[in-house]
Amino acid sequence: MQNANEIRLLANKIRRDVVEMIGFKGQVGHLGGSCSSAEIVAALYGSRLRFKHDDPQWDGRDKFIYSKGHAAIAQYAAMAEVGYFPREELWKAKELGAMLQGHPDRLKTPGIEAGTGSLGQGLSIAVGMSLSMKLDGHHDNKVYCIMGDGEMAEGQIWEAAMAAVNYKLDNLVGIVDRNALQATGFIEERFNTNPLGKKWVGFGWHVIEIEGHDVDAILAAFDEAATVKGVPTVIIANTVKGKGISFAENQVSFHNGALTKEQYDIALAELDEKIDAMS
């Protein structure tokens, strides 16, 4: 289990891997949304998720659903870092026949619990997993589900939100990666899903709002969620899309974009500087 500093380092290693996965040969990748959730994903794989990287089906494990499946590359990077599969797989992502698909694939990638990619479904899947844990008496286990703030427009999120409260799923922790941008622009301008906190409170969830790149705050939020009984918890993490890469921060173009060689080099240099400072 990693400490806060190690998690910060892991988050930047995830970002660096994401940049390298996208490359500079014209391939597009969901850079923005992967960078915004890097600390959260790092905190999960580095510290809070109970799992065995060499036994992905271990029945004592926690479950993690990346509902905003387009940002899967962040999850893949984290999974490589903790040993689910060799790092070499990262560079083959999205190639024909690759283990790592454009959106998470349960059959092709070890450690992926369920396919996501059609937005709005991950929380429901998490509900099913939480129900199963309670049925089987796995009372120490948790299900985590990262969703996007654009994804909040999907009605099914709210179906799942109601179900989670009806079934008192206090072993379920939702996280909204609130980076304020969707594919076509700023959420507040395109289709406003705010105020988020009030909506989740209205649906009966315990709500924690944090700065989503503050590792201490993330860990404290997970700690708080663990004390909540009888209702599920959602952590609304205020993040920056493209965080950690100067030219990508808050840029719509990097929802799903390609990098020039120049941008690629700048990104790696910035991230290497951060990684070196933390190592």
Partner 1 sequence: MERSSQRLAYGETIVALGAENPNVVVLEADLGKSTMSAMFQEAYPDRYFEMGIAEANMISTAAGLAASGKIAFCSTFAVFASGRAYDQIRQVVAIGKLNVKICGSSSGLSDFGDGSTHQAVEDVAIMSAIPNMTVFTPADADETRRAVRAAVAIDGPVYIRVVRNDMPTYTKGEFVPGKLSELRPGDDAAIVAYGAMIEAAMNAATILETKGISARVINAGTMKPFDTAGIIALSKQVKAIVTAEDHSRIGGLAAQVAFALRQSGTPMDYVAIEDKFGQSAHSVKELMEHYGLTDTAIVNKTMALSR
The residues binding partner 1 (CB under 8 A) are 59, 63, 105-107, 113-118, 121, 124-133, 135-136, 155-156, 159-160, 162-163, 166-167
* Cβ-contact 229, 171 below 8 angstroms: no
Dihedral angle of Cα 239, 245, 250, 255, to the nearest 10 degrees = -90
Nearer to partner 1, 156 or 250 (CB): 156
Start-to-end CA span in the chain (Å): 17
CB of 118 to partner 1, least distance (A): 4
Nearer to partner 1, 12 or 171 (CB): 171
Closest to 14 in 3D by CA, of 245, 225, 199:
245
CB of 153 to partner 1, least distance (A): 14
CB of 148 to partner 1, least distance (A): 16
Nearer to partner 1, 136 or 189 (CB): 136
Nearer to partner 1, 42 or 127 (CB): 127
Nearer to partner 1, 38 or 163 (CB): 163
CB of 71 to partner 1, least distance (A): 17
Q: How far are the Cα atoms of 162, 166, 171, 201, 228 from residue 231, in angstroms, in the given order?
A: 11, 9, 8, 11, 7
* Cβ-contact 149, 141 below 8 angstroms: no
Closest to 31 in 3D by CA, of 279, 223, 260, 273:
260
* Cβ-contact 44, 80 below 8 angstroms: no
CB of 9 to partner 1, least distance (A): 32
